[in-house]
């Protein structure tokens, strides 16, 4: 039996190799290790030590496991008619997402106790699966009186709020991560059985439920399941769920169902649902080559990065529907920027890179990861933001958890997955898209290549890459030169630098300088590499002034400060002697770089500059006072209590306020 199980495990990987893949192949998280103590190493350790244990404890205390146990009792014939099904119809996904994050961590930090705990949870999950594969505790616990959002029978309220397909999506994503991390099919088989149930019951044919997800994510999950198993029915189902959108009885832009997806050209509605759907569209575009899908997702991307994205990479400007606003509607104090939406922005841009191979998509990925995502979790891993505003008057702070726990549990799965975003391959080329200390074992033309990075990025712009092993002979390195180095903070005219500085880069191989031209944002080096070869990269890393397009009303007369990939903000604890709401930045500010601040044992580089404090004197005349303004990375704000915070600083009088 053990040999048979091993055979099927290898057979699945063989099938995957036969499936249509992306034009560019991601290097999986299982092949990349991040150095402990490095920037991302600190985030991974916080996830291991705090976030994942906290999430599992919440699954216990908030009754997430209990739901599966009650469903199992009902399936065994026990009377559960007195059970009142409460909570949210998507509570099962908290369990799935936490298992997904824990599975990524098993690769980074092997832990027998954690693996045994996951196995025990999977036994509980499996016990709640119905005979035909359906797994949705909100109905199974008490079929005669299911959750109020679930409807009297399967799928009838899917387009409203039952979240049956949403639950499937997160289950599949988690099951694939668990399979890749452990090589075991326990969770994958559970997910495949539910996916098979959906493929049988939801679709365009007679007798099937012709519905689309009320909350998208199964599209991207089913596409991923296709790449793992090679079974095309999962890709076909993903495409059906997209193709049929806008053709059912539910037609509105909140869930992007206002028109067929290939006719859409603007990001609208609930930002998380949108980003997940756009990611699914990118999957279908890449895996099928469907030109209509490619054109549609490209149009939507242009709309987001050109008119609807914050400088932090956050998306979704309004709390009304947790949604995208109108073009250029990007308020700061009331910015919603849900953490889940930022994660979705990375998913979408990562997939578009795998489709098109242009560095501009990774410029968005990097900006969002370093700013809009990690701001959503405290440095110690135990506090969370749901929205991520770009200004605060002191009435906002992180919470230890939420009743609707989508953001904490999403961070549980995203942060540990970061190693899987560093590298990609195509033929005999290796893409280096993110920078951080660690080692990657790559397959180039089927041969092993081991590449090691040493760097203090994002605090410094120096990276050394060493070839520790090469069995592939000659191959190409495509080194991403970030947009912020090339004078473009984002790949559009939504934001631009306003300080006139010229930054550049240098690249050396074994001490010798190279000067090739860039190709789609990449510095390309092809040679027969040998063990010990070193590539030294230097990016000029200067504090920069950013201005927004004049059509962004909220940012007129204001500037944002960034250094490298990090956006900075001014926060009250560092500026106690004056009101941040009444400062005016100098017209030609200079910045002093400091290394004096550490928050939650994480050292930070801060910036200092001169500013003026505006006020009225006793005679009612405008008065100014020189002050020294300190700035910290945006992601690190709100660790020292609630208070004033601001990203977009007034630099012109029209944007300034005066303390009375």
Single out the residue of 23, 187, 51 nearest to residue 121, CA to CA: 187
Residue 412 among the catalytic residues: no
Cβ partners under 8 Å of residue 481, min gap 6: 359, 505, 518, 521, 522, 523, 539
Can you tell me the distance from the alpha carbon of 516 to that of 298, in angstroms, rounded to the nearest whole number? 29
Sequence-distant contacts of 543-547: CB under 8 A, at least 24 apart: 543/568, 543/591, 543/593, 543/607, 544/484, 544/489, 544/497, 544/499, 544/501, 544/503, 545/497, 545/498, 545/499, 545/589, 546/311, 546/489, 546/495, 546/496, 546/497, 546/498, 547/495, 547/496, 547/497, 547/498
Choosing from 322, 338, 391, 562, which is the catalytic residue? 322
Is 186 strand, coil or helix? helix
Best CA proximity match to 157, nearest among 186, 136, 178: 136
Task: Kindly report the length of the chain.
Answer: 660
Distances (CA, A) of 453 to 450, 477, 561: 10, 13, 28
Using alpha carbons, select from 142, 196, 139, 201 the residue that is nearest to residue 171: 196
Cis ω on the peptide bond leading into residue 52 (within 30° of 0)? no
Q: Which of 97, 26, 11, 15 is nearest to 283 (CA)?
A: 26
Q: What backbone phi and psi angles, to 5 degrees, belong to 652?
A: -125, 150
- Provide DSSP, 323-374: B--STT---STT----HHHHHHHHHHHHHHHHHH--HHHHHHHHHIIIIIIG
Count of C-beta atoms within a 10 Å radius of residue 180: 18
Rounded Cα distance between 221 and 283, Å, is 9
Residue 332, Cβ density class (10 Å: 0-12 exposed, 13-18 middle, ≥19 buried): buried
Tell me the pairing of strands 649-650 and 423-426: unpaired
In sequence order, what DSSP letters do the residues of 126-143 get, joined into one string? HHT--TTS---HHHHT-T
Q: Which residues contact 544 (CB under 8 A, 6 or more apart)?
A: 484, 489, 497, 499, 501, 503, 561, 562, 563
Kindly name the residue from 59, 340, 406, 412 that is annotated as catalytic.
Answer: 406
- Taking alpha carbons only, the member of 556, 540, 538, 554 closest to residue 498 is 556
Concerning whether 237 is annotated as a catalytic residue, the answer is: no
- Catalytic annotation, residues: 322, 406
């Amino acid at each position: 039996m053990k040999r048979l199980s091993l055979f099927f495990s290898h057979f699945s990987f063989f099938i995957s190799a036969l499936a249509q893949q992306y034009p560019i192949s991601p290097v999986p998280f299982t092949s990349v290790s991040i150095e402990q103590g490095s920037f991302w190493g600190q985030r991974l350790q916080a996830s291991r030590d705090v976030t994942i244990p906290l999430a599992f404890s919440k699954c216990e205390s908030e009754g997430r496991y209990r739901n599966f146990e009650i469903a199992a009792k009902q399936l065994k014939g026990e009377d559960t008619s007195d059970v009142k099904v409460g909570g949210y119809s998507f509570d099962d996904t908290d369990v799935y997402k936490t298992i997904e994050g824990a599975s990524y961590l098993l690769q980074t930090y092997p832990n027998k106790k954690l693996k045994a705990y996951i196995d025990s949870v999977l036994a509980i999950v499996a016990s709640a699966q119905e005979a035909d594969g359906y797994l949705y505790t909100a109905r199974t616990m008490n079929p005669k009186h299911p959750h109020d959002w679930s409807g009297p029978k399967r799928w009838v309220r899917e387009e409203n709020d039952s979240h049956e397909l949403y639950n499937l999506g997160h289950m599949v994503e988690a099951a694939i991560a668990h399979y890749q991390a452990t090589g075991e099919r326990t969770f994958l088989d559970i997910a495949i059985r539910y996916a098979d149930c959906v493929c049988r019951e939801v679709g365009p044919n007679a007798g099937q439920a012709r519905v689309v997800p009320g909350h998208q994510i199964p599209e991207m999950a089913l596409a991923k399941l296709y790449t793992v198993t090679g079974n095309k029915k999962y890709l076909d189902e993903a495409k059906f769920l997209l193709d049929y959108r806008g053709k059912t009885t539910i037609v509105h832009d909140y869930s992007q169902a206002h028109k067929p997806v290939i006719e859409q050209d603007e990001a609208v509605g609930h930002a998380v649902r949108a980003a997940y759907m756009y990611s699914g569209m990118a999957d279908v575009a890449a895996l099928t080559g469907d030109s209509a899908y490619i054109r549609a997702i490209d149009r939507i991307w242009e709309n987001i990065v050109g008119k609807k994205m914050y400088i932090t990479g956050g998306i979704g400007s309004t709390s009304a529907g947790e949604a995208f606003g109108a073009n250029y509607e990007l308020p700061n104090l009331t910015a919603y920027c849900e953490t889940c939406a930022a994660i979705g922005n990375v998913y979408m841009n990562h997939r578009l890179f795998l489709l098109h191979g242009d560095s501009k998509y990774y410029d968005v990925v990097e900006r969002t990861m370093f700013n809009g995502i990690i701001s959503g979790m405290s440095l110690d891993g135990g506090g969370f933001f749901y929205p991520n505003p770009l200004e605060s008057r002191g009435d906002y702070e992180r919470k230890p958890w939420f009743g609707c726990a989508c953001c904490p549990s999403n961070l549980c799965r995203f942060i540990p997955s970061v190693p899987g975003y560093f590298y990609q391959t195509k033929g005999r080329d290796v893409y280096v898209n993110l920078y951080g200390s660690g080692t990657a074992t790559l397959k180039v033309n089927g041969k092993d290549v081991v590449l090691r990075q040493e760097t203090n990025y994002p605090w410094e712009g120096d990276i050394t890459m060493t070839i520790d092993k090469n069995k592939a002979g000659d191959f190409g390195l495509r080194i991403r030169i970030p947009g912020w180095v090339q004078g473009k903070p984002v790949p559009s005219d939504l934001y631009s630098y306003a300080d006139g500085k010229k930054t550049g880069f240098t690249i050396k191989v074994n001490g010798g300088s190279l000067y090739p031209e860039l190709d789609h944002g990449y510095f390309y080096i092809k040679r027969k590499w040998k063990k010990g070869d070193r590539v030294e990269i230097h990016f000029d890393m200067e504090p920069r002034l950013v201005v927004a397009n004049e059509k962004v009303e909220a940012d007129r007369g204001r500037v944002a400060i960034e250094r490298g990939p990090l956006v900075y903000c001014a926060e009250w604890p560092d500026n106690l002697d004056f009101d941040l709401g009444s400062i005016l930045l100098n017209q030609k500010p200079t910045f002093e770089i400091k290394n004096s601040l550490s928050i939650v044992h994480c050292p930070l580089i801060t910036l200092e500059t001169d500013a003026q404090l505006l006020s009225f004197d006793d005679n009612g005349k405008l008065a100014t006072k020189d002050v020294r303004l300190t700035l910290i990375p945006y992601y690190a704000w709100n660790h020292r209590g609630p208070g004033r915070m601001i990203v977009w600083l007034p630099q012109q009088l029209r944007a300034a306020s005066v303390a009375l």
